[in-house]
Amino acid sequence: MSRKALGFLALICVFAVLVPLVLNAYAALPAQTKKMGGVLRIALLDDVKTLNPIWAMSVWDWYVLGVIYEGLTATDPETLEPIPWIAERWEMVEPTHWIWYIRDDVYWHDGEKLDVYDVYFTYKFLRDGAATAGFARYITYAKFVKNVEVELPNKVHVYLYEPYAPFVRYLSAAPLLPEHIWGPAFVEGYDVANHEAPEFVVVNPFRGVEITAWRIKADEVMRTYMPEPLVGCGPFEFEAWVAGQYISLRAFEDYHREVRDPETGEVLGTYDRPNVDRLLFVIITSPAAQLLALRRAEIDMMAWPLLPADAEAMKGYPNIKLCVTDEVGYFHLTFCMRKGERCDEINFPWEGDGKMGYTAEAARALRRALCALTDKETIVDKFLLGYGYPGFGPVPRVELEPGKVWKWYHPGFENGSLIEKYPWIDPKKDVELARSLLSEAGFVDTDGNGKFDAWRGPMGDVPLPPVAEVIAPSYDPIRIQCCMLVCADYEEVLDIDFVPSITEFHSIVIATSVRHDYDLCILGWSLGVDPAYLYSLFHSDEAVPFGGNMAGFKNKTYDYYSELVLTELDEEKRLQYVYKCQEIIVSECPSIILYYRKAVYAYRTDTLGGVVEMLDGPVNGWTFLTCYKKEIRGRIPGWRFTWELFVLTGIAAAVVMPAGLWYMKRSIEAAL
């Protein structure tokens, strides 16, 4: 799914944990030109489903939440490294002990001052919630955070069970939660004055050790779609949400951030309330309708990339800027290998466990065969019109500068060595290879129609299911096309009726990430720059409700290497573990990586200035702070065909008026 903890929370990458002070270099930060007033109008393809940051999963949720809440750091738009924000600096005392230094001039939207206890509360609430209340999005906190302590006036000490390589990247990005609101609302017996609540001893399931945890009101958190009051510390505060129409946010008047170089004290940037008075997210569920609204200047920006055909058509269009960038994410077809909320039920035929004789090896051969039948060349060339690359592994192909692919992408995909080793990932559709893989694994054609319909094992023939549903989101024409294509191609070889199911996105999230009850789905992941997400996407611990492992993929070897991706501090060793994880996914095929998109974003240049274009497009936290509405000078041009209108009006008057007088005269005479 498109998933994007996006906007201000996405795209921060760092690996520098070998010195006490992490930051040592900055690019020039965007300037905030003071031009106040107006409304920034951004189109979203779908409505938000929740404004509760504990359960929010979709990119649409996080576009909104990302400007209401903030984390401890921000992202340098050029280097993509974390920079001081609410934390004015940080220090690594040792690999398992970090200190955050918190600013003293940050305020919540309700006027309360943010302090070290809010940071302490956030860390402990997320850790205890992940360990005891199912906060799947924040499993990392339960897995790594051992303890949190406050040292007044401005220090928060975070102690870890073991080194965590992307500490600054991941354990600073979570939205800070206001203790004075969330404590009483969601923690039993919380005492705001003393910053404490009754604790109980429980085993941390992600560590197998006892911890003292708060009693989280899990049911209350689950029921809360929007905390009331909805209070954050970000640049915009909540104003209104009209379901299916718009979300309105207003600029937070007391917003202030000052970024200083922690070594020299030099001020690198100062940011006050946003220039625009309001941020209006407009829900327009059709890409064509969004583009029409942009052309008519009814909106200023589109959060979702243009369709490839629209991108071609909009080249050179007046007053509209196109921003082309490699997207940090990928689109995939994923198999539901295990069903149920905890993925504890084998889902035949996409996974096997030896019951009925059907083995895991047979299921893997079936997944590989479908990968060989997937025509990625057609997807990239005809559907994307070249705006993308064929997909291989779960780390996207991203060029940080022209011709330079980032280091995390396995070089075997670029030089072809991995395609030779794992031929089913070749972008070309290969029917012969698919048939060979199936035959060698024991699949047979029992009725002689040329299609495989059963698996022949030691206990006899195991029939394949007659029907399999392939889900794709209704808002994305490209994935709908992919869905139609793969269904037709898979039916060439398998005697299964692959049924396209074009579905509303929220329903897909429930089926794939909560209940884990589906056959195949075509979705996308929006990712961060650091590859620690390899753990989240396929580790066994993430095969839980709201976890990232929607396939229910459980592989001990993968678990081992993805954990090393999190804990290894040696950069070269860590890089090899990242490569190993990519190879395992390519070999096991829990997901078929369809394509990496080259996204084309569009915004108006006549209504908007101060836009910051980053790797993942112009809709980002910096743009929300620095952009401004331009004044429209001069009169608005009249209708294009004004003189023709006058001529036609004259002709009409010459014909209609005499006719009208004649008709009136006859009517009067008849009446008399």
Specify the 3-state DSSP secondary structure of 236: strand
Q: What is the mean pLDDT of residues 367-390?
A: 98
Alpha carbon distances (Å) from 309 to 44, 213, 229: 19, 53, 43
Residue 639 reports pLDDT greater than 50:
no
Write the burial class of residue 341 (CB in 10 Å: 0-12 exposed, 13-18 middle, 19+ buried). middle
Do 473 and 505 contact (CB within 8 A), yes or no?
yes
pLDDT class for 215, splitting at 50, 70, 90?
Answer: very high
As given in the structure block, the two tokens for residue 73 are 């750091």
Percent of the chain with pLDDT over 90: 83
pLDDT at 169: 87
pLDDT at 27: 63
Q: What is the mean pLDDT of residues 57-61?
A: 90
Tell me how far apart the alpha carbons of residues 470 and 459 are, in angstroms, rounded to a whole number: 30
Tell me, what amino acid is at 55? Answer: W
Residue 592 reports pLDDT greater than 90:
yes
Tell me how far apart the alpha carbons of residues 544 and 549 are, in angstroms, rounded to a whole number: 7
Residue 660 reports pLDDT greater than 60:
no
Q: What is the mean pLDDT of residues 504-521?
A: 94
In sign, the C-alpha dihedral spanning 61, 66, 71, 74 is: positive
pLDDT at 401: 83
Do 408 and 531 contact (CB within 8 A), yes or no?
yes
Do 230 and 238 contact (CB within 8 A), yes or no?
yes
Residue 536 reports pLDDT greater than 70:
yes
Least confident of 288-297, 426-435, 522-531, 655-664: 655-664
Do 410 and 582 contact (CB within 8 A), yes or no?
yes
Residue 220 reports pLDDT greater than 70:
yes
What average pLDDT is seen over the chain? 90
What's the CATH superfamily of 329-598?
Dipeptide-binding Protein; Domain 3 (3.10.105.10)
pLDDT at 205: 94
Phi, psi of 326 (to 5 degrees): -70, 130
pLDDT digits (tens, 9 = 90+) for 120-133: 999 999 999 999 99
Task: Report the b/e string of 558-581 with b at 16+ CB within 10 A.
Answer: bbebbbbbbbbeeeeebbebbbbb
Residue 183 reports pLDDT greater than 70:
yes
What's the CATH superfamily of 8-300+607-629?
Periplasmic binding protein-like II (3.40.190.10)
Q: Please state the domain extents for the chain.
A: 8-300+607-629, 329-598, 643-672
In sign, the C-alpha dihedral spanning 339, 340, 342, 346 is: negative
Do 40 and 303 contact (CB within 8 A), yes or no?
no
Tell me, what amino acid is at 325? Answer: T
As given in the structure block, the two tokens for residue 380 are 């990239």
Least confident of 30-39, 569-578, 591-600: 30-39
